[in-house]
Structure 1
Amino acid sequence: MLRKLLVTASIALCAQLAHAAEAGKIIFVAGMAQVVDRPALQDAAVQEGELLTTGADGFIYIKTLDNGLFILRPNTRARIVTYHIDAKTPENTRIKLELLSGVARSKSGDAVKLARQNFRFNTPVAAIGVRGTDFTVFTDQDTSRVAVISGGIVVSGFAGACSREGAGPCEGMASRELSASQRGLLLQIQRGQGAPQLMSSANVGPDNIAPPRSDEPLAKSGGMTNAPAAIVVEPNLDAKKNESLAQAVVPRVPQEPVPPVVTPPPVVDPGHKPDPVLPPVLPPVVPPVIVPQKDSGILWGRWQSVGPSPTMIDLTEERSRSELLAVKGNFALFRTPGKEYVARENGSVGFSMAASDAYVYTDYGYGNRTTATASLSNGRLDVNFGSKTFATSFDLTSKDESFKFQAQGALSADGRLYGENANGRAGHMNVDGVLSNEKGGTAAYIFDGRIDARRTINGGTSWRIKNQ
């Protein structure tokens, strides 16, 4: 019996090795770098499933079969799990990369661009899909951070229908998208977290943890070659010598000395009386005009179009003048420049809804998704300054159906509203909002939530203090 099991295992192992195919070729290697248990060598092939490892000074650049790019930076472990390309039938293409630890960069090749729905980049805690993309990833066993160089990505944690063994992007209520237009931001997800968090990439981005070499191919280089695309080259030494020699042989023409210019003293008339010296005329003193600083305001709206509804905010342009507070789905929330908001120490205040924009999305699977507009009514927002908490609710109506939604959370000293995680519960929302003293007291928040297994909501609201 034992012999039979050993024979069966040997046959399975041989079959696996027989089906392993070439995934790409190493085009550059530096420092300590290995493929499985052998040194990584330039021009060597990389097979599907082979473990790639770099040391503290190691780099590996791999050109994939479809002219894509997979880069491992120092202290990194990764593998190209699958790289099956079907040029005639792109829907049969299957590509999966896996980053076990460290920092890696993935630039989509030609096949990925034709079969984005079949591309997956796994980390220990996240599934990453692409929209035709160039991105960098940092991961350890508990945290992954993803930054986009060009294109866009979708990130989700492993939960529910999103499994580690799956293929293609995980898209749903718990997924979040990031595009290259959101400069200075990244998506972070931690083990056990419901959904990725959008945050600033300052000091914690993949490039901060393991910076790229100066010869790493540029994001918009005109295609890959068998050598790095952006090598820093010193000026030619012969040209330097020629330049110095040319300066040395310039004829030096002697110059005649130029006598100094002597100004004769002024002629003074003995009978002339000097003009009287008058005191200077000073301008009248005008007291400065003190212009009171306006309060910081709130701006929210669609940064991506939703069906026939166009965008309301240019995310990149608005970030140049306002503070980006949050992005949820197709909506973004900003705080405009002005006097800083300081929350009161006690008391409470109620708000009534002033405006809203909301949508219902129905996912039928396999990328089939419909969108419907929704209206909000019976809105309530109560803020308790003493306990530093808030609670909100409204009725959402779409296609003659109504649903009640609610959320609660914490209030920060600068007026931010941080909602508790809804964890996919029906009728509960994830909320990000802010308060302002503008116009006597206003508020706004953006939200997402779940109606049932297929339907989700996304939108934004603005509020004013009651009785105003």
Structure 2
Amino acid sequence: MLRNFVIGAHLALAASLAWGGEAGHVVFVTGQAQLAGRPAALDAVVQEGDQLSTGADGYVYVKTVDQGFLILRPNSRARIATYQVDPAQPSNTHVKLELEQGVARAISGQGVKQARQNFRFNTPVAAIGVRGTDFIVFTDNQTSRVQVVSGGVVMSAFSASCSAEGVGPCEGSASRELFAGQAGMLLQVQRGQATPQLLNNPALTPDQNEKPRQDEPVGKVSAGALSSTQVNLDPQRSALSLEAIRPASTPNSTPSGSDSVSVPPVLVTPPVVVTPPTPPAPPPELPPKAQEVFWGRWSTVAGQAVMPASIQGNSVDSPQFVGEYAVARVKGATLVMPTEGKVSFTLNGSEAVVQKSSGEARANVDSGRLNINFVDRSFTTDLGLSSGTEKYDISGKGVIDLKGTMSSSSGSSTLIRGYLSGPNVEEAGYVFKNTTYPGVTLLGGTSWKR
């Protein structure tokens, strides 16, 4: 009896550990979207076992713990069945995603790239494994289609030798491969089919069921693959505006709540075995975007304010000042302010000082968060500072005008002035002053990127 109890306890503990891992976090959300039965929120943690769903206007971008992406478009439902990544022992990595309906895009992270044999993407009728890194899937309860943006996939219909409960790709005589170099091609499986079909029908591509936003992260595109901009897997590097709204649904769209899809007649071709083409040389990386927001500490020389070297060396608009710090944006900077969605930024550079009656000391910015809501053009931010053994936590909030100028609101505990910049609002910078700690003034500047 005791032995059975101990075994049961161990099994329960193992199950809780298997389902308790963090898979990633939400980096973009707009419209109707749910995560684990609650409204999806920016920066929300996505755990193993969580279900994601979107309504008619919903989009969710999840950045995984290994720097990949899972993107869910409108009228879709997916589940993170397993997401266990072990960089030190790739053989211990296991990733399993399930698309129950709708359209999703998967861009593999480093963990998946190192353990492709342990990756599985399930639909109601098919199993998909990866030969590369970036693909788009449409499914309803009867039909699944996959198109490759970069790399390749292997697709198999569920059968006695390929079950939904399995791990890794199903490979054999009934599986079919598709690579990005096969221009315009897609793989399709319908319920009851033994082997996927290789089709060339633009009307059946997943993008025709639910359109992508123009700010979707993009990946390296092989010659002849999907038409797309040059890519680097970072959403902030897209040259397209966040303001794009989803076009009206096409006749091929799946009605909300329906288990079937109306499609034009399909020319069924005999199953073929595709020999993978020789991978083309990777395209050159795009040069990094030039910095457009600068800040620094100014000084007084002979009674005149002298701008910091970081601002002096650039042609900028009128700087904004907070204490001994100034922030400015280059003249003619490109900015397109979105009208929807929420985004989070990552701290990319900082400098701070602590001023007391006894003197001034340098401070480190140990942590930071900057979130922007484009609907009401507001921002919130938090910083964690330290100087020696002393630690300070400060926060601020404010508004952003249509020109991308950031200003703290009257209810903010921190005085903030700054700018947004970039065609896709991929850069931000602000200077700050906080006096909430008695006898202490905290000053500094921060740079941010998406």
TM-score, normalization: structure 1? 0.47
TM-score, normalization: structure 2? 0.49
Higher RCO (CA-CA < 8 Å; seq separation 6+): 2
Larger Rg: 1
